[in-house]
Amino acid sequence: MPKVYVTQEVATANYHPAEKFGDVVFLCTTEVSGASSSLHNVKLVNSIRERFKDYNPATDFLAPSGSPIISMIVMAIAREKGSQFNFLKWNNRDFVYTSIRVDTLGEEHVY
């Protein structure tokens, strides 16, 4: 069964709608430190890598949630595993997720 990797668990968010796309895996609950030499950040990235090690970009989903910085860290790690990704986009009006597949390589520039 596919997995849904939620970048950062937010206590007030309802992730139940994501379960229709696969087993939900939360990558972290904490925020990055503002200190550039923070040992917290090293531990945080290592923890995300460990929880994310079985990620398969062909079948699994990324559900951005919480801190944009955490989402960017997760995406940087995901990019090590491929260039095409399945995202779950939250719709605030209908309270559902929409599946979107994105190829980060593209075919050519469109501008």
Q: What is the tens place of the pLDDT at every residue in 61-98?
A: 999 999 999 999 999 999 999 999 999 999 999 999 99
Taking CA atoms, 86 is separated from 2, 4, 61, in Å, by 11, 9, 5
Are the C-beta atoms of residues 99 and 21 closer than 8 Å to each other? Answer: yes
Residue 87's Cβ-count burial label (10 Å; 0-12, 13-18, 19+) is: middle
Neighbours of 63 (CB within 10 A): 27
Q: How far is 42 from 107, CA to CA, in rounded Å?
A: 35
pLDDT, tens digit (0-9, with 9 covering 90-100), for 23-74: 999 999 999 999 989 999 999 999 999 999 999 999 999 999 999 999 999 9
- Give pTM, 2 decimals: 0.92
Are the C-beta atoms of residues 9 and 26 closer than 8 Å to each other? Answer: yes
DSSP annotation of 34 reads S
Reading the block at residue 14, the tokens are 């309802």
Res 106: pLDDT: 72
